[in-house]
Structure 1
């Protein structure tokens, strides 16, 4: 397995190299890069590795910029001291998110996850890991919704829907373009029709699109406050009982 490490902390990079040598003796670290610029140059000119370990905060910015400049087709394990970038990581090619200071067990578990994905490929005769990542991110379910407004019927593609919510006991559809349409179906029925990889039922009132989620933060009474890329009529809160399933959804979608 050929591996690249993108990390601007010397000790963390060295620790990773030592652990990889111990846990994956047949692996080869092709290079260690400490900036966006050097990483983009290496990935653009060299062969794509089988796996990348990537820090998020680098000396010249956030490593998510690397994805905009290069076509990364291999899985990425993010290693960082900050947990606020978790959502962005999983929206990229992230297969795991390891918090610093990481342990031997953390890296071993992350490598096992990559191996499990490879075994899935081999079992299903898929040509490479990048195809599985694409397959995982392809939502299934209802493709569009028929809506009626201003005396006219039209269809709204599901991928253009930011969220569904209930207001005055009526379900509404809201698009990323901030258009709003009333629906006749109850929210529970809609939740069964859309892909559970694409949409999550935050609470009784809201069903949101993964792509609409901007950021999350801790709130009172161990709740999670979810903010979308467009405004919502009220705060989106997830109670502590549902927090685990929400983060599991983010990780496994």
Structure 2
């Protein structure tokens, strides 16, 4: 079995690797990655492994950011010291959720669940496991947002939203018609409610709808310039370290 470990603590990653190899000697650890950025770069440029063992709190953020940039189609075993992310982990292909410190018996049980997971789908479908997980893991996201403008409440359908951006201190929704509405949520909260296949977080300020993209151009210093069908207050640029993940998202339809 080919696996990768995503863990920001070097000693913890090595200890986990030793435990994995002890329990499953045939396992090949393809990579040990320490950050969200490194994981996105690796998964965007390499073949998907058969299993990922992943910590949740990494050096540059929560691991769930990885799933927003990369379509992970293999089972994931989450290994963490925090118990409050179990629901999100289940939504993210999680077949087990191990709380640190865990014993070999816990990891052995997790491997058995992975085996059962694979065997079930192999026996009950003609397509391969990755395609089945892909279909199961389709996220439709929130369908509409309630907004307040001109002393009136109204709903804005999500598919009408071209982009969402930070306007001064709070996010604003901008529709394909050019209408703009302020919302009382953080951009992170809004992002967590949207389909990761339909909306992409370009940077700290902008979430864009795939349907709003008009064209993507190469820019200076290996950046990308994203032009939408409607104007934005600023140029939408993607740094060279994120271009691979963004292009993968564009292609993964």
Tell me the TM-score range normalised by the shorter chain: 0.5 to 0.7
CA shift digits 1:78-130 (9 cap, x unpaired): 11000011111112121111100111011111111010011112212443223
The alignment yields a C-alpha RMSD, in angstroms, of: 2.7
SS of residue in 2 equivalent to 1:113: helix
Residues 16 and 71 of structure 1, relative CA distance in 2, 3 Å threshold: same
Matches within 5 A, 1:116-127: 116-127=116-127
The answer for the alignment partner of 1:63 in structure 2 is 63
Structure 1 residues 137 and 33: CA distance shift in structure 2, 3 A: closer
Question: Unpaired segments of 5 or more residues in structure 1?
Answer: 139-158, 162-176, 179-213, 215-253
Q: Is the CA contact (8 Å cut-off) linking 2:49 and 2:74 kept in structure 1?
A: yes
CA distance in 1 between counterparts of 2:122 and 2:132 reads 11
Structure with the greater relative contact order (CA < 8 A, sep ≥ 6): 1 or 2? 2
1:10 shift after superposition:
1.7
**Structure-1 residue corresponding to 2:111:** 111
- Residue 135 of structure 1: CA displacement? 5.6
8 A contact 2:51–2:76 mirrored in 1: yes
Q: Distance in 2 between matches of 1:45 and 1:136?
A: 24
The aligned runs of 1:156-235 (5 Å cut-off) are: none
Question: 1:101 aligns to what?
Answer: 101
How many aligned residue pairs are there?
Answer: 148
- Which structure 2 segments of 5+ residues have no match? 145-154, 157-192, 194-253
Residue 126 and residue 114 in structure 1: after superposition, are their counterparts in 2 closer, same or farther (change >3 A)?
farther
Normalised by the length of structure 1, the TM-score is: 0.53
TM-score (norm 2): 0.53
Partner residue in 1 for 2:52: 52
The answer on whether the counterparts of 2:93 and 2:137 sit within 8 Å (CA) in structure 1 is no
Ranges of 4+ aligned residues in structure 1 off by more than 6 Å: none
Checking the alignment, whether the CA contact within 8 Å between 1:117 and 1:129 is kept in structure 2 is: no
Determine the C-alpha separation between the residues in 2 that align with 1:75 and 1:56.
15
Classify 1:126/1:53 alpha carbon distance in 2 versus 1 (closer, same or farther; 3 Å). Answer: farther
| Cα-to-partner distance string for 1:181-216 (whole Å, 9 max, x where unaligned) | xxxxxxxxxxxxxxxxxxxxxxxxxxxxxxxxx9xx
